[in-house]
């Protein structure tokens, strides 16, 4: 049987907690699942970013996520499931939601749907909303853990609140070592950007967050243009979408032609010259490669402790919409 988990102190810190490093094998998967069933916190890979996982059906376990991340408020979280059938037990899928689930699950899409009457996701994970955010991730380790736990697993990105999302076990540990029970190390993530979030709450589906599935692919399935919530006078219905988010310590300057003296440089596409303190998201101008590199490069440039990071213009099509969304948040006033 698993060991007893340490109690949280009133400030939510996990005094003396040791974070287990779990390998990407059967034993690591079993241990991760055991810790989750006991109400523990485990950082694990999905194909988008590392998630900080907890049993979504347990309010106490979910509270541990907010404490470890130091989230300022109880934003609703995404609940992860092993397959479409398990997701449909938690939420009510209309025709659009079902078509999107069939087209993109498992994969980097989250659907916000009305909670089913038998929904087991705790009020805290849903922030008291009548809806629930559901995702079936494609990563084999995430899938194996979800199968083994047999309950919906809440998982925001495995970073401290407001910081850059974690795309490797090292990134997750840099923010959360000593604050969580374990990290399951599956190497770097493939997509590198969080999931696209679409709300199917009756009426036209709405894009709540651009992400790993490009808008055009979603529009191809639903056969209409997606309205971006918060655009065109619509009230944002995704309370977790803070303007400043994904923020490095350095200031971020967007759409720059070249770095100013002393600035770090985040390039995209072929570059005419070698800038100092420079990283390139994709020298060939590939937006998929750029998405994979985005958060890791921001972390590396931030570690150079330059006062600001200048960023080359990124085209707005395909995954560019999600990349620019994250960059605008990183650059927003704090």
Q: Where do contacts with Mg ion occur on this chain (CB under 5 A)?
A: 157
Q: 203 is in the binding site of which of ligand TXA, Mg ion, none (Cβ under 5 to 8 A by kind)? A: none
Contacts of 83 (CB under 8 A, 6+ apart): 105, 106, 136
CB atoms within 10 A of CB 74: 18
User: Which two structure tokens, joined as six digits, stand for 255?
Assistant: 């759409």
How many of the other CB atoms lie within 10 Å of CB of 234?
11
User: Of these, 54, 155, 301, 312, which contacts ligand TXA (CB under 6 A)?
Assistant: 155
Q: Which stretch binds ligand TXA (CB under 6 A): 28-36, 150-158, 246-254, 263-271?
A: 150-158
What mask of x and - would describe binding to ligand TXA in positions 56 to 95, judged by CB under 6 A? -------------------xxxx-----------------
Angstrom distance (rounded) from CA 238 to CA 330: 18
Encoded one letter per residue, x for contact with ligand TXA by CB under 6 A and - for no contact, window 165-204 reads -----------------------------xx-x-------
What does the block give as tokens for 119? 């929904």
In angstroms, what is the minimal distance from the CB of 229 to ligand TXA? 8
Q: To which residue do tokens 């509270």 refer? A: 63
Structure tokens at 286: 């590939």
- 51/165 Cα distance (integer angstroms): 9
Closer to Mg ion by Cβ: residue 51 or 320: 51
Nearby residues of 174 by Cβ (< 8 Å), 6 or more positions away = 166, 299
The dihedrals phi and psi of 207, each to the nearest 5 degrees, come to: -85, 115
In the complex, the smallest distance separating the C-beta of residue 262 from ligand TXA, rounded to whole angstroms, is 32
Kindly tell me which residue out of 84, 241, 254, 288 binds ligand TXA, with binding defined by CB under 6 A: 241
Q: Which does 321 bind (CB under 5 to 8 A by kind): ligand TXA, Mg ion, none?
A: none
Q: Is 288 in the site for ligand TXA (CB under 6 A)?
A: no
Angle (CA) 133-166-19 rounded to 5° is 100
The footprint of ligand TXA on residues 99-138 (CB under 6 A) is 110, 112, 126, 129, 131-133, 135
- Compute the least distance from the CB of residue 251 to ligand TXA, in Å: 23
Residue closer to ligand TXA (CB basis): 119 or 310: 119
**Smallest gap from residue 165 Cβ to ligand TXA (A):** 7
Q: Which is nearer to ligand TXA, 210 or 259 (CB)?
A: 210
Binding partner of residue 228 among ligand TXA, Mg ion, none, CB cut-off 5 to 8 Å per kind: none
Rounded Cα distance, 181 and 20, in Å: 6
List, as one string, the DSSP characters of 55-109. Answer: ETT-HHHHHHHHHHHT-SS----EEE-SSHHHHHHHB---HHHHHHHHHH-SSSE
Judged by the rule CB under 6 A, the positions of this chain that interact with ligand TXA are 46, 48-49, 51, 75-78, 110, 112, 126, 129, 131-133, 135, 155-157, 194-195, 197, 208, 237-241
């Amino acid at each position: 049987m698993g060991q007893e988990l340490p109690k949280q102190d009133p400030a939510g810190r996990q005094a003396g907690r040791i974070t287990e490093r779990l390998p990407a094998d059967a034993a690591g998967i079993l241990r991760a699942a055991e810790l989750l069933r006991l109400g523990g916190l485990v950082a694990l890979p999905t194909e988008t970013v590392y998630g900080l996982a907890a049993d979504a059906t347990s309010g106490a376990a979910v509270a541990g996520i907010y404490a470890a991340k130091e989230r300022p408020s109880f934003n609703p979280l995404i609940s992860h499931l092993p397959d479409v059938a398990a997701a449909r037990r938690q939420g009510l899928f209309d025709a659009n939601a079902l078509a999107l689930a069939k087209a993109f699950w498992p994969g980097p899409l989250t659907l916000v749907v009305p909670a089913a009457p038998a929904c087991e996701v705790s009020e805290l994970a849903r922030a008291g909303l009548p809806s629930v955010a559901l995702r079936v991730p494609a990563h084999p380790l995430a899938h194996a853990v979800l199968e083994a736990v047999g309950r919906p697993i809440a998982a925001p990105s495995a970073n401290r609140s407001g910081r850059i999302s974690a795309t490797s076990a090292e990134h997750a540990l840099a923010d959360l070592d000593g604050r969580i029970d374990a990290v399951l190390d599956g190497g770097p993530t493939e997509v590198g950007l969080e999931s696209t979030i679409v709300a199917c709450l009756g009426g036209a589906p709405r894009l709540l967050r651009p992400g790993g599935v490009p808008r055009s692919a979603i529009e191809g399935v639903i056969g209409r243009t997606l309205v971006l919530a918060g655009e065109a006078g619509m009230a944002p219905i995704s309370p977790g979408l803070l303007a400043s988010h994904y923020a490095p310590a350095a200031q971020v300057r967007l759409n720059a032609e070249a770095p100013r003296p002393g600035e770090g440089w985040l390039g995209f596409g072929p570059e005419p010259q070698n800038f100092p303190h420079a990283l390139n998201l994709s020298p060939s101008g590939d937006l998929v490669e750029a998405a994979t590199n985005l958060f890791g490069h921001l972390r590396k440039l931030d570690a150079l402790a330059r006062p600001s990071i200048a960023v080359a213009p990124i085209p707005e099509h395909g995954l560019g919409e999600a990349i620019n969304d994250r960059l605008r948040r990183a650059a927003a006033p704090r």
